[in-house]
A and B are shown apart, each in its own frame.
Chain A
Amino acid sequence: MSSSNFASSSMSGSGGSSSGGGGGGGGPCGACKFLRRKCVTGCIFAPHFDSEQGAAHFAAVHKVFGASNVSKLLLHIPVEKRQDAVITICYEAQARLRDPVYGCVAHIFALQQQVVNLQAEVSYLQAHLATLELPTPPPPPLLAPPPPPLSIADLPAFSAVPATYDLSSLFDPTAWNIIPHQRHEIETLTSQFPTTAAPRGDGGGDLQELAREFLARRAAPAEPCTNQQASPLPPHST
């Protein structure tokens, strides 16, 4: 299984077995090493965070999710699925540290944009093929009918979880730098989470503005925002 192979090479370092740590002769697991605590037998983190690289992975997970929350999450997951869960949690944690504003959602937006663009191109070419017109230069993509705005409703619905997911590409950094080629009105992913204006604070949840700012930021070579960022930001009404 691809996820297990990936996990064994990057996290547990022990072929995905449960032989690491756990208070045995192997020393503390990466999580307990990071937390500077005794690694007890049956430590929930031990099979998934080895003493070497696991500590670095756990550092990211702890910073974003917290050890306690991850422990509770893993406890509610069947043992055979925990490795996959750890992989995806590490992915989300690293994505959030890399981009504190969008985290892995930037990746989702970029992929969704690509899918929409390709599907629009497929539709256009299908129509072209159907008419069997004489060869004329196809209109530039920008003149094609704009794809419908993205919304959380367009994202794949939660259905029965497939038997396997290919997790090997999650940590491909090049996949995170995909920049949407076109700016479209995007209803934010928060259509299910209405952000009505609070009694105090900014003047209202302009969701379209959020999406436009996301696209503008993705298209600009600006550094991910940090607490000490110095790059000029577009004005944003708060």
Chain B
Amino acid sequence: MNSSRCAACKHLRRRCPSDCIFAPYFPSNNPRRFAYVHKIFGASNVGKILQDLPVSYRREAANTLCYEAYCRIKDPVYGCAGIVDQLNEQLKVAEYQLATIRAAITTTLQPSYLLDQSLPM
């Protein structure tokens, strides 16, 4: 039994070859990562996605796949789309706040406003 199997090969109960596509990105000390992507995407699909990418991009791809899988497990209906929607809402709120404050600043800096403020009582 190969004691240095990656998390993927441990999960799949198979030997971990020296050129395992998963090993660099799914270390054995974090089995949850692979469990997530396996549940949502399947090992075969993840392997194909990674295989089709240059080596320098695979780590990022593995990380984003993990995040997507995690989101989908936490929210099976909306997944990452739920996050997108929440961020869009935050954006709208921030844009509204910005517009309000800009209008207030514009009003405050109007010459007539400044003049009114400086007149003695």
Residues in A lying within 8 Å of B, measured CB to CB: 63-66, 68-69, 73, 76-77, 81, 84-85, 87-89, 91-92, 96, 100-105, 107-108, 111-112, 114-115, 118-119, 121-122, 125-126, 128-129, 132, 134-135, 152, 155-156, 158, 161, 165-167, 169-170, 188-190, 192-202, 205, 210, 213-214, 225-227, 229, 233, 236, 238
Contacts of A166 in B (CB 8 A): 85, 88
In B53-106, the 8 Å CB interface with A consists of 53-57, 59-68, 70, 72, 74-88, 90-91, 94-95, 97-98, 101-102, 104-105
Partner of A101, one of B53, B74, B76, B108: B53
Task: Name the residue of chain B whose CB is nearest to the CB of A164.
Answer: B85
Which 4 pairs, one residue from A and one from B, show the smallest C-beta to C-beta distance?
A: A201-B24, A236-B56, A118-B94, A111-B87
B12 interface residue per 8 A CB criterion: no
Partner of B63, one of A73, A158, A210: A210
CA distance A10 to B70 in the complex (A): 27
Task: Name the residue of chain B whose CB is nearest to the CB of A86.
Answer: B77
Contacts of A102 in B (CB 8 A): 60-61, 64
Task: Please tell me if the beta carbons of A115 and B90 are within 8 angstroms of each other in the complex.
Answer: yes
CA distance A233 to B80 in the complex (A): 28
A60 to chain B, nearest CB (A): 12
CA distance A41 to B90 in the complex (A): 43
Partner of A105, one of B25, B68, B72, B109: B68
CA distance A85 to B108 in the complex (A): 49
- 9 sampled A-B residue pairs with Cβ under 8 A: A66-B45, A92-B68, A92-B80, A169-B88, A188-B63, A193-B33, A193-B70, A198-B27, A213-B60
Chain B contact residues, majority secondary structure: helix
Contacts of A214 in B (CB 8 A): 60
Task: Please tell me if the beta carbons of A200 and B80 are within 8 angstroms of each other in the complex.
Answer: no
Task: Please tell me if the beta carbons of B78 and A65 are within 8 angstroms of each other in the complex.
Answer: no
Partner of B80, one of A66, A104, A125, A194: A104
Task: Please tell me if the beta carbons of A101 and B94 are within 8 angstroms of each other in the complex.
Answer: no
B53 to chain A, nearest CB (A): 6
Given A69-B41, A102-B64, is A111 in contact with B88 using a C-beta cutoff of 8 Å? yes
Partner of B53, one of A134, A167, A225: A225
CA distance A115 to B6 in the complex (A): 38
Task: Please tell me if the beta carbons of A227 and B94 are within 8 angstroms of each other in the complex.
Answer: no
CA distance A128 to B105 in the complex (A): 8
Task: Please tell me if the beta carbons of A84 and B57 are within 8 angstroms of each other in the complex.
Answer: no
A103 to chain B, nearest CB (A): 6
Given A64-B41, A195-B59, is A152 in contact with B67 using a C-beta cutoff of 8 Å? yes
Contacts of A103 in B (CB 8 A): 64-65, 68
Contacts of B54 in A (CB 8 A): 225, 229, 233
Contacts of B30 in A (CB 8 A): 193-196
Task: Please tell me if the beta carbons of A161 and B94 are within 8 angstroms of each other in the complex.
Answer: no
